[in-house]
Structure 1
Amino acid sequence: MLEKVNRRYFLRSAGVAAATGAFIMGCTLDDHNLPGEVVDLGTGDIGILNYAYALEQLEAAFYTQVMMSPYAGMTDEEKTILTDIMYHEIVHRQFFKAALGAAAIKGLTPNFDGIDFNSRASVLGAAKLFEDTGVQAYNGAGNLIENVNYLLIAGKIVSVEARHAAAIRDLLNPNSADFSGDDVVDPMTGFDKAVKPGVILPAVQPFVKNTISGSGLPQ
Protein backbone atom coordinates (compact mmCIF):
# COMPACT_ATOMS: atom_id res chain seq x y z
CA MET A 1 0.00 0.00 0.00
CA LEU A 2 1.41 3.41 -0.93
CA GLU A 3 2.37 5.81 1.82
CA LYS A 4 0.01 8.77 2.21
CA VAL A 5 2.59 11.30 1.09
CA ASN A 6 3.17 9.36 -2.13
CA ARG A 7 -0.56 9.18 -2.90
CA ARG A 8 -0.69 12.90 -2.38
CA TYR A 9 1.85 13.70 -5.08
CA PHE A 10 1.72 10.82 -7.55
CA LEU A 11 -0.43 12.70 -10.07
CA ARG A 12 2.39 15.20 -10.55
CA SER A 13 4.18 12.54 -12.62
CA ALA A 14 1.77 13.16 -15.49
CA GLY A 15 3.83 16.24 -16.28
CA VAL A 16 1.35 19.04 -15.59
CA ALA A 17 3.25 21.38 -13.29
CA ALA A 18 1.51 23.96 -11.15
CA ALA A 19 3.60 26.65 -12.82
CA THR A 20 1.60 26.16 -16.01
CA GLY A 21 -1.72 26.21 -14.24
CA ALA A 22 -2.47 29.89 -14.72
CA PHE A 23 -1.88 29.60 -18.45
CA ILE A 24 -4.00 26.48 -18.76
CA MET A 25 -6.86 28.07 -16.85
CA GLY A 26 -6.84 30.85 -19.43
CA CYS A 27 -7.59 28.37 -22.22
CA THR A 28 -11.33 28.73 -22.50
CA LEU A 29 -13.85 27.68 -25.10
CA ASP A 30 -14.59 30.84 -27.04
CA ASP A 31 -17.59 29.55 -29.00
CA HIS A 32 -20.39 27.82 -27.12
CA ASN A 33 -23.53 26.04 -28.20
CA LEU A 34 -26.78 27.41 -26.82
CA PRO A 35 -28.50 25.32 -24.14
CA GLY A 36 -30.83 22.84 -25.84
CA GLU A 37 -29.00 23.08 -29.16
CA VAL A 38 -28.24 19.73 -30.81
CA VAL A 39 -24.53 18.98 -31.05
CA ASP A 40 -23.69 16.46 -33.77
CA LEU A 41 -20.36 14.77 -33.10
CA GLY A 42 -19.89 13.69 -36.71
CA THR A 43 -18.59 10.45 -38.18
CA GLY A 44 -15.37 8.43 -38.45
CA ASP A 45 -12.27 9.51 -36.56
CA ILE A 46 -13.59 13.08 -36.37
CA GLY A 47 -16.72 11.84 -34.65
CA ILE A 48 -14.69 9.77 -32.16
CA LEU A 49 -12.37 12.68 -31.40
CA ASN A 50 -15.36 14.98 -30.88
CA TYR A 51 -16.84 12.30 -28.62
CA ALA A 52 -13.69 12.36 -26.48
CA TYR A 53 -13.61 16.16 -26.69
CA ALA A 54 -17.16 16.37 -25.36
CA LEU A 55 -16.32 14.13 -22.40
CA GLU A 56 -13.16 16.09 -21.63
CA GLN A 57 -15.12 19.34 -21.77
CA LEU A 58 -17.50 17.97 -19.18
CA GLU A 59 -14.74 16.77 -16.87
CA ALA A 60 -12.70 19.97 -17.18
CA ALA A 61 -15.76 22.10 -16.40
CA PHE A 62 -16.63 19.93 -13.41
CA TYR A 63 -13.19 20.07 -11.76
CA THR A 64 -12.85 23.78 -12.50
CA GLN A 65 -16.11 24.35 -10.64
CA VAL A 66 -14.93 22.12 -7.79
CA MET A 67 -11.77 24.17 -7.30
CA MET A 68 -13.52 27.50 -7.73
CA SER A 69 -15.76 26.62 -4.78
CA PRO A 70 -14.06 23.90 -2.69
CA TYR A 71 -16.42 21.81 -0.61
CA ALA A 72 -16.54 22.25 3.14
CA GLY A 73 -13.62 20.59 4.90
CA MET A 74 -11.52 19.88 1.78
CA THR A 75 -8.11 18.78 3.03
CA ASP A 76 -4.77 19.88 1.59
CA GLU A 77 -4.30 16.36 0.21
CA GLU A 78 -7.68 16.44 -1.51
CA LYS A 79 -7.02 19.93 -2.86
CA THR A 80 -3.69 18.78 -4.33
CA ILE A 81 -5.21 15.73 -6.02
CA LEU A 82 -8.30 17.50 -7.34
CA THR A 83 -6.25 20.43 -8.62
CA ASP A 84 -3.91 18.10 -10.49
CA ILE A 85 -6.86 16.26 -12.02
CA MET A 86 -8.37 19.59 -13.08
CA TYR A 87 -5.17 20.57 -14.87
CA HIS A 88 -4.99 17.19 -16.62
CA GLU A 89 -8.57 17.43 -17.86
CA ILE A 90 -8.04 20.96 -19.16
CA VAL A 91 -4.95 19.81 -21.05
CA HIS A 92 -6.90 16.89 -22.53
CA ARG A 93 -9.71 19.22 -23.55
CA GLN A 94 -7.36 21.68 -25.21
CA PHE A 95 -5.51 18.87 -26.99
CA PHE A 96 -8.69 17.64 -28.67
CA LYS A 97 -9.76 21.17 -29.53
CA ALA A 98 -6.41 21.80 -31.25
CA ALA A 99 -6.33 18.38 -32.95
CA LEU A 100 -9.82 18.81 -34.38
CA GLY A 101 -9.34 22.40 -35.52
CA ALA A 102 -12.28 23.61 -37.57
CA ALA A 103 -13.99 20.21 -37.17
CA ALA A 104 -14.30 20.60 -33.39
CA ILE A 105 -17.75 20.90 -31.89
CA LYS A 106 -18.51 24.12 -30.05
CA GLY A 107 -18.23 24.40 -26.30
CA LEU A 108 -20.89 22.48 -24.40
CA THR A 109 -22.97 23.99 -21.60
CA PRO A 110 -22.68 21.81 -18.49
CA ASN A 111 -25.62 21.03 -16.24
CA PHE A 112 -24.35 20.41 -12.73
CA ASP A 113 -27.59 21.33 -10.97
CA GLY A 114 -27.78 17.88 -9.39
CA ILE A 115 -24.36 18.19 -7.75
CA ASP A 116 -23.96 19.87 -4.36
CA PHE A 117 -20.51 21.44 -4.70
CA ASN A 118 -20.40 22.16 -0.98
CA SER A 119 -20.74 18.45 -0.16
CA ARG A 120 -17.68 16.19 -0.20
CA ALA A 121 -19.82 13.12 -0.78
CA SER A 122 -21.67 14.74 -3.69
CA VAL A 123 -18.51 16.06 -5.37
CA LEU A 124 -16.45 12.90 -5.00
CA GLY A 125 -19.43 10.75 -5.97
CA ALA A 126 -19.80 12.76 -9.19
CA ALA A 127 -16.03 12.61 -9.78
CA LYS A 128 -16.11 8.83 -9.41
CA LEU A 129 -18.94 8.62 -11.94
CA PHE A 130 -17.17 10.89 -14.44
CA GLU A 131 -13.80 9.16 -14.15
CA ASP A 132 -15.16 5.60 -14.32
CA THR A 133 -17.31 6.62 -17.29
CA GLY A 134 -14.37 8.27 -19.00
CA VAL A 135 -12.20 5.15 -18.75
CA GLN A 136 -14.99 2.93 -20.05
CA ALA A 137 -15.70 5.37 -22.88
CA TYR A 138 -12.08 5.45 -24.09
CA ASN A 139 -11.86 1.67 -23.84
CA GLY A 140 -15.08 1.27 -25.80
CA ALA A 141 -14.08 3.70 -28.55
CA GLY A 142 -10.48 2.61 -29.06
CA ASN A 143 -11.23 -0.05 -31.65
CA LEU A 144 -13.30 2.49 -33.60
CA ILE A 145 -10.31 4.75 -34.29
CA GLU A 146 -8.64 4.24 -37.67
CA ASN A 147 -5.72 6.67 -37.42
CA VAL A 148 -2.99 4.94 -35.40
CA ASN A 149 -1.63 8.26 -34.14
CA TYR A 150 -5.00 9.14 -32.64
CA LEU A 151 -5.19 5.66 -31.14
CA LEU A 152 -1.79 6.13 -29.51
CA ILE A 153 -2.88 9.42 -27.93
CA ALA A 154 -6.16 7.91 -26.76
CA GLY A 155 -4.22 5.09 -25.11
CA LYS A 156 -2.07 7.59 -23.26
CA ILE A 157 -5.05 9.64 -22.11
CA VAL A 158 -7.08 6.66 -20.89
CA SER A 159 -4.16 5.59 -18.70
CA VAL A 160 -4.25 9.01 -17.03
CA GLU A 161 -8.04 8.82 -16.66
CA ALA A 162 -7.59 5.44 -14.96
CA ARG A 163 -5.16 7.05 -12.50
CA HIS A 164 -7.80 9.69 -11.79
CA ALA A 165 -10.45 7.04 -11.21
CA ALA A 166 -8.20 5.17 -8.79
CA ALA A 167 -7.31 8.37 -6.91
CA ILE A 168 -10.97 9.35 -6.47
CA ARG A 169 -11.90 5.86 -5.32
CA ASP A 170 -9.08 5.96 -2.78
CA LEU A 171 -10.35 9.29 -1.42
CA LEU A 172 -13.79 7.78 -1.01
CA ASN A 173 -12.58 4.49 0.45
CA PRO A 174 -8.98 4.90 1.68
CA ASN A 175 -6.54 1.99 1.84
CA SER A 176 -9.01 -0.41 0.23
CA ALA A 177 -9.11 -2.47 -2.95
CA ASP A 178 -11.85 -0.25 -4.34
CA PHE A 179 -9.35 1.46 -6.65
CA SER A 180 -9.86 -1.55 -8.94
CA GLY A 181 -13.22 -2.74 -7.72
CA ASP A 182 -15.11 -5.59 -9.38
CA ASP A 183 -17.65 -3.05 -10.64
CA VAL A 184 -15.05 -1.63 -13.04
CA VAL A 185 -12.41 -4.35 -13.45
CA ASP A 186 -13.39 -7.89 -14.42
CA PRO A 187 -11.77 -10.06 -11.71
CA MET A 188 -11.47 -12.99 -14.12
CA THR A 189 -9.70 -11.19 -16.96
CA GLY A 190 -8.14 -8.22 -15.20
CA PHE A 191 -9.55 -5.95 -17.94
CA ASP A 192 -11.40 -2.71 -17.35
CA LYS A 193 -14.88 -2.34 -18.80
CA ALA A 194 -15.26 -1.09 -22.38
CA VAL A 195 -18.55 0.67 -23.14
CA LYS A 196 -19.73 1.90 -26.54
CA PRO A 197 -20.79 5.50 -27.33
CA GLY A 198 -24.44 4.45 -27.61
CA VAL A 199 -24.42 3.67 -23.88
CA ILE A 200 -22.07 6.39 -22.65
CA LEU A 201 -23.80 9.35 -24.29
CA PRO A 202 -27.22 8.79 -22.67
CA ALA A 203 -25.43 8.33 -19.33
CA VAL A 204 -23.72 11.74 -19.51
CA GLN A 205 -26.57 13.61 -21.21
CA PRO A 206 -28.15 14.71 -17.87
CA PHE A 207 -24.95 16.65 -17.14
CA VAL A 208 -25.09 18.67 -20.38
CA LYS A 209 -27.70 21.26 -21.34
CA ASN A 210 -27.07 20.66 -25.04
CA THR A 211 -28.38 17.57 -26.79
CA ILE A 212 -25.42 15.47 -27.91
CA SER A 213 -26.02 13.41 -31.03
CA GLY A 214 -23.72 10.47 -31.68
CA SER A 215 -25.88 9.06 -34.46
CA GLY A 216 -22.89 9.00 -36.81
CA LEU A 217 -20.87 6.80 -34.45
CA PRO A 218 -21.02 3.01 -34.17
CA GLN A 219 -23.43 2.23 -31.36
Structure 2
Amino acid sequence: MLAACSNDSNNDDVTGPPSDAVTIDLSKDSGVLNYAYALEQLEAAYYSKVVAGISSSQLSASEQVVITDIRNHEVIHRDFLATALGSAKIPNLSVDFSSVNFANRVSILKTAKVFEDIGVSAYNGSGKFLKDLNNLLVAGKIVSVEARHAAAIRDLLNPGSRDFAGDDVVEPLSGLDQATEPGLVLGGLSNFVKTPIRLVS
Protein backbone atom coordinates (compact mmCIF):
# COMPACT_ATOMS: atom_id res chain seq x y z
CA MET A 1 0.00 0.00 0.00
CA LEU A 2 1.38 3.37 -0.92
CA ALA A 3 0.62 6.36 1.24
CA ALA A 4 1.37 9.98 0.55
CA CYS A 5 0.00 13.22 1.93
CA SER A 6 -0.23 16.43 -0.02
CA ASN A 7 -1.91 19.78 0.39
CA ASP A 8 -0.99 20.93 -3.12
CA SER A 9 -2.41 18.87 -5.96
CA ASN A 10 -1.19 21.44 -8.53
CA ASN A 11 2.53 20.99 -7.87
CA ASP A 12 4.05 19.90 -11.20
CA ASP A 13 7.02 18.38 -9.38
CA VAL A 14 4.84 15.81 -7.62
CA THR A 15 4.52 12.51 -9.44
CA GLY A 16 0.92 11.38 -9.71
CA PRO A 17 -0.33 8.15 -8.16
CA PRO A 18 -0.39 4.91 -10.18
CA SER A 19 -3.41 4.52 -12.43
CA ASP A 20 -4.93 1.90 -10.11
CA ALA A 21 -4.36 4.00 -6.97
CA VAL A 22 -7.17 4.99 -4.63
CA THR A 23 -7.19 8.59 -3.42
CA ILE A 24 -8.63 9.40 -0.01
CA ASP A 25 -9.23 13.05 0.83
CA LEU A 26 -9.06 13.50 4.60
CA SER A 27 -10.34 17.07 4.35
CA LYS A 28 -13.82 15.62 3.77
CA ASP A 29 -15.85 13.42 6.08
CA SER A 30 -16.41 11.04 3.17
CA GLY A 31 -12.65 10.65 2.89
CA VAL A 32 -12.25 9.87 6.58
CA LEU A 33 -15.05 7.33 6.35
CA ASN A 34 -13.38 5.80 3.29
CA TYR A 35 -10.18 5.52 5.31
CA ALA A 36 -12.15 3.60 7.94
CA TYR A 37 -13.80 1.58 5.17
CA ALA A 38 -10.38 0.56 3.86
CA LEU A 39 -9.41 -0.70 7.32
CA GLU A 40 -12.67 -2.58 7.72
CA GLN A 41 -12.28 -4.15 4.28
CA LEU A 42 -8.90 -5.52 5.35
CA GLU A 43 -10.12 -6.85 8.68
CA ALA A 44 -13.30 -8.37 7.25
CA ALA A 45 -11.30 -10.11 4.52
CA TYR A 46 -8.78 -11.45 7.02
CA TYR A 47 -11.24 -12.87 9.53
CA SER A 48 -13.41 -14.29 6.75
CA LYS A 49 -10.39 -16.21 5.49
CA VAL A 50 -9.58 -17.44 9.00
CA VAL A 51 -13.15 -18.62 9.55
CA ALA A 52 -13.27 -20.32 6.14
CA GLY A 53 -10.43 -22.62 7.23
CA ILE A 54 -11.08 -22.59 10.95
CA SER A 55 -11.41 -26.38 11.28
CA SER A 56 -7.70 -26.78 10.48
CA SER A 57 -6.49 -23.64 12.26
CA GLN A 58 -5.34 -25.17 15.60
CA LEU A 59 -7.67 -22.71 17.33
CA SER A 60 -9.57 -24.17 20.27
CA ALA A 61 -13.36 -24.36 20.20
CA SER A 62 -13.69 -21.30 22.43
CA GLU A 63 -11.15 -19.38 20.34
CA GLN A 64 -13.08 -20.24 17.20
CA VAL A 65 -16.18 -18.68 18.75
CA VAL A 66 -14.28 -15.46 19.52
CA ILE A 67 -12.77 -15.26 16.04
CA THR A 68 -16.12 -15.91 14.40
CA ASP A 69 -17.76 -13.18 16.48
CA ILE A 70 -15.01 -10.75 15.48
CA ARG A 71 -15.47 -11.72 11.82
CA ASN A 72 -19.16 -10.97 12.10
CA HIS A 73 -18.49 -7.55 13.64
CA GLU A 74 -15.93 -6.61 10.99
CA VAL A 75 -18.27 -7.60 8.16
CA ILE A 76 -21.02 -5.49 9.72
CA HIS A 77 -18.65 -2.52 10.06
CA ARG A 78 -17.51 -2.88 6.45
CA ASP A 79 -21.03 -3.14 5.09
CA PHE A 80 -22.31 -0.29 7.26
CA LEU A 81 -19.60 2.06 5.99
CA ALA A 82 -20.17 0.95 2.39
CA THR A 83 -23.86 1.77 2.71
CA ALA A 84 -23.18 5.09 4.44
CA LEU A 85 -20.73 6.12 1.71
CA GLY A 86 -22.90 4.98 -1.18
CA SER A 87 -21.48 6.04 -4.52
CA ALA A 88 -18.63 7.85 -2.74
CA LYS A 89 -17.06 4.64 -1.45
CA ILE A 90 -13.66 3.51 -2.68
CA PRO A 91 -13.38 0.26 -4.70
CA ASN A 92 -12.66 -3.11 -3.14
CA LEU A 93 -9.01 -3.28 -2.14
CA SER A 94 -6.59 -6.00 -3.17
CA VAL A 95 -5.27 -7.77 -0.07
CA ASP A 96 -2.43 -10.24 0.44
CA PHE A 97 -2.30 -12.62 3.39
CA SER A 98 0.45 -14.85 1.99
CA SER A 99 2.65 -14.11 5.02
CA VAL A 100 0.10 -15.72 7.35
CA ASN A 101 0.08 -19.43 8.15
CA PHE A 102 -3.65 -20.09 8.47
CA ALA A 103 -2.98 -23.57 9.83
CA ASN A 104 -1.05 -22.14 12.78
CA ARG A 105 -2.84 -20.69 15.80
CA VAL A 106 -0.06 -18.30 16.80
CA SER A 107 0.33 -16.93 13.27
CA ILE A 108 -3.41 -16.28 13.06
CA LEU A 109 -3.61 -14.55 16.44
CA LYS A 110 -0.44 -12.49 16.04
CA THR A 111 -1.68 -11.16 12.71
CA ALA A 112 -5.07 -10.42 14.27
CA LYS A 113 -3.27 -8.53 17.05
CA VAL A 114 -1.50 -6.37 14.46
CA PHE A 115 -4.76 -5.54 12.70
CA GLU A 116 -6.70 -4.80 15.87
CA ASP A 117 -4.00 -2.69 17.52
CA ILE A 118 -3.45 -0.69 14.34
CA GLY A 119 -7.19 -0.40 13.79
CA VAL A 120 -7.79 1.15 17.21
CA SER A 121 -4.93 3.61 16.88
CA ALA A 122 -6.07 4.44 13.33
CA TYR A 123 -9.56 5.43 14.44
CA ASN A 124 -8.09 7.40 17.34
CA GLY A 125 -5.77 9.23 14.98
CA SER A 126 -8.36 10.09 12.34
CA GLY A 127 -11.30 11.20 14.45
CA LYS A 128 -9.92 14.75 14.57
CA PHE A 129 -10.55 15.11 10.83
CA LEU A 130 -14.31 14.51 11.11
CA LYS A 131 -16.50 17.59 10.98
CA ASP A 132 -19.97 16.06 11.38
CA LEU A 133 -20.59 15.09 15.00
CA ASN A 134 -22.85 12.24 13.87
CA ASN A 135 -19.94 10.71 11.96
CA LEU A 136 -17.68 11.19 14.98
CA LEU A 137 -20.25 9.40 17.13
CA VAL A 138 -20.36 6.44 14.74
CA ALA A 139 -16.56 6.28 14.59
CA GLY A 140 -16.46 6.30 18.39
CA LYS A 141 -18.88 3.39 18.55
CA ILE A 142 -16.87 1.39 16.03
CA VAL A 143 -13.51 2.01 17.70
CA SER A 144 -14.91 0.93 21.06
CA VAL A 145 -15.76 -2.44 19.50
CA GLU A 146 -12.34 -2.62 17.85
CA ALA A 147 -10.73 -2.03 21.25
CA ARG A 148 -12.73 -4.95 22.66
CA HIS A 149 -11.44 -7.09 19.80
CA ALA A 150 -7.87 -6.01 20.50
CA ALA A 151 -8.17 -6.87 24.19
CA ALA A 152 -9.74 -10.25 23.39
CA ILE A 153 -7.00 -11.21 20.93
CA ARG A 154 -4.28 -10.14 23.35
CA ASP A 155 -5.86 -12.26 26.08
CA LEU A 156 -5.98 -15.29 23.78
CA LEU A 157 -2.27 -14.88 23.11
CA ASN A 158 -1.34 -14.41 26.76
CA PRO A 159 -4.23 -15.48 29.02
CA GLY A 160 -4.53 -13.93 32.45
CA SER A 161 -1.87 -11.30 31.79
CA ARG A 162 -2.10 -7.52 31.71
CA ASP A 163 -1.40 -7.55 27.97
CA PHE A 164 -5.07 -6.80 27.25
CA ALA A 165 -4.18 -3.17 27.97
CA GLY A 166 -0.39 -3.28 27.81
CA ASP A 167 1.90 -0.28 27.98
CA ASP A 168 2.66 -0.76 24.29
CA VAL A 169 -0.87 0.41 23.42
CA VAL A 170 -2.11 2.29 26.49
CA GLU A 171 0.13 5.15 27.56
CA PRO A 172 0.93 4.58 31.26
CA LEU A 173 0.86 8.23 32.34
CA SER A 174 -2.31 9.33 30.56
CA GLY A 175 -4.21 6.04 30.56
CA LEU A 176 -5.18 6.76 26.96
CA ASP A 177 -4.89 4.49 23.95
CA GLN A 178 -2.47 5.41 21.20
CA ALA A 179 -3.46 7.52 18.20
CA THR A 180 -1.60 7.05 14.92
CA GLU A 181 -1.58 9.35 11.90
CA PRO A 182 -3.15 7.88 8.74
CA GLY A 183 0.08 7.84 6.72
CA LEU A 184 1.84 5.77 9.37
CA VAL A 185 -1.13 3.41 9.62
CA LEU A 186 -1.11 2.71 5.90
CA GLY A 187 2.63 2.21 5.95
CA GLY A 188 2.25 -0.34 8.73
CA LEU A 189 -0.26 -2.30 6.65
CA SER A 190 1.62 -2.15 3.35
CA ASN A 191 2.48 -5.87 3.45
CA PHE A 192 -1.21 -6.75 3.48
CA VAL A 193 -2.89 -4.17 1.22
CA LYS A 194 -1.62 -4.12 -2.35
CA THR A 195 -3.91 -1.47 -3.78
CA PRO A 196 -1.96 1.81 -3.73
CA ILE A 197 -3.64 4.41 -1.53
CA ARG A 198 -2.86 8.11 -1.74
CA LEU A 199 -3.87 10.36 1.12
CA VAL A 200 -4.56 14.04 0.54
CA SER A 201 -5.78 16.69 2.94
Smaller-chain TM-score bracket: 0.7 to 0.9
Q: Structure 2: which amino acid aligns with 1:97?
A: A
Which structure dedicates a bigger proportion of its chain to helix? 1
Q: What aligned pairs does 1:156-195 form with structure 2 within 5 A after superposition?
A: 156-195=141-180
1:59 to 43, 47, 61: 43
For 2:111 and 2:197, the matched residues in 1 are separated by: 20
SS class of match (2:197): strand
Alpha-carbon shift at residue 198 of structure 1 (Å): 1.4
For 1:84 and 1:207, the matched residues in 2 are separated by: 22
For 2:102 and 2:86, the matched residues in 1 are separated by: 33
What percentage of aligned pairs have identical amino acids?
51
1:40 to 13, 23, 26: 23
Alpha-carbon shift at residue 37 of structure 1 (Å): 2.2
Q: How many residue pairs align between the two structures?
A: 181
For 1:73 and 1:186, the matched residues in 2 are separated by: 33
For 2:62 and 2:144, the matched residues in 1 are separated by: 22
Alpha-carbon shift at residue 72 of structure 1 (Å): 3.4
Alpha-carbon shift at residue 109 of structure 1 (Å): 1.3
1:83 to 68, 72, 78: 68
Q: Which runs of 4+ in 1 moved over 6 A?
A: none
For 1:124 and 1:72, the matched residues in 2 are separated by: 10
Alpha-carbon shift at residue 204 of structure 1 (Å): 1.1
For 2:110 and 2:74, the matched residues in 1 are separated by: 17
CA-based RMSD of the aligned residues comes to 1.1
Deviations 1:173-205 (A, max 9, x none): 001100000000011110000011011111112
Q: Structure 1: which amino acid aligns with 2:129?
A: L
Partner of 1:102: 87
Q: Structure 1: which amino acid aligns with 2:161?
A: S
Alpha-carbon shift at residue 73 of structure 1 (Å): 2.3
SS class of match (1:96): helix
For 1:85 and 1:213, the matched residues in 2 are separated by: 28
For 1:102 and 1:57, the matched residues in 2 are separated by: 16
For 1:42 and 1:108, the matched residues in 2 are separated by: 17
Gaps (5+ residues) in structure 1?
A: 1-35
Deviations 1:29-59 (A, max 9, x none): xxxxxxx821112341111110000000000
Between the two structures, name the one with larger relative contact order (CA 8 Å, sep ≥ 6): 2
Partner of 1:209: 194
For 2:179 and 2:52, the matched residues in 1 are separated by: 32
Q: Compute the TM-score of the two structures, normalised by the length of structure 2.
A: 0.87
